[in-house]
Amino acid sequence: MTPPETPGQGQAAEAPVASPAVSLCAPIETLKNRPDFLRAAQARRQGTAGFLLQARQRRDDSPAIRIGFTASKKVGNAVFRNRAKRRLRALAQQVLPGRAQAGWDYVLVARPGATVDRAFADLLADLTQALRQIHRDR
């Protein structure tokens, strides 16, 4: 027995025009090389209660937004470091697509105790404010 076909399936189906999950902002990539992290550390910084945001404009032709995450041993053992990085990744996933600027590198550095213990809503507000401070005219 074959299941009934729903409209839009089968041989006569047309391909959708665009996926509803397609983002209109620049692609977000992950920083993986130490020199990229070091260059970001020498550029703009904005501290918050939950983390430190480092940002730099790349000045290359790539419109991609690149993001990196750091949690040193000061944050705690491997469990706490991984938890802090997971929280920072979730934070970046929610805030960066709407607020980050194309052609920039961002590094979120976990703070001991604060990144893991701070309420997630407060971390969201911290990142929004930090991005606003980084990108204001200097």
CA distance 59 to 35: 16
Domain formed by 28-135, architecture: 2-Layer Sandwich (3.30)
pLDDT tens string 66-79: 999 999 999 999 99
**Residue 67, φ and ψ in degrees, nearest 5:** -135, 140
Domain ranges, ordered by start, for the chain: 28-135
- The conformation of residue 68, written as its DSSP 8-state character, comes to E
Q: Is the pLDDT of residue 58 over 70?
A: yes
What residues form DSSP beta bridges with 68? 107
| Strand-strand pairing, 104-110 and 51-57 | antiparallel
CB–CB of 31/41 below 8 Å? no
- The conformation of residue 11, written as its DSSP 8-state character, comes to T
pLDDT tens string 85-99: 999 999 999 998 888
Give the model's pLDDT for residue 13.
Answer: 55
Helix residue spans in the chain (DSSP H): 34-41, 78-99, 114-117, 120-135
The gap between the terminal CA atoms of the chain, to the nearest Å, is 69
* pLDDT above 90 coverage of the chain, percent: 63
Our separate counts of H helices and E strands in the chain read 4, 5
pLDDT tens string 8-28: 555 655 555 544 444 455 678
pTM above 0.85, yes or no: no
CA distance 85 to 100: 19
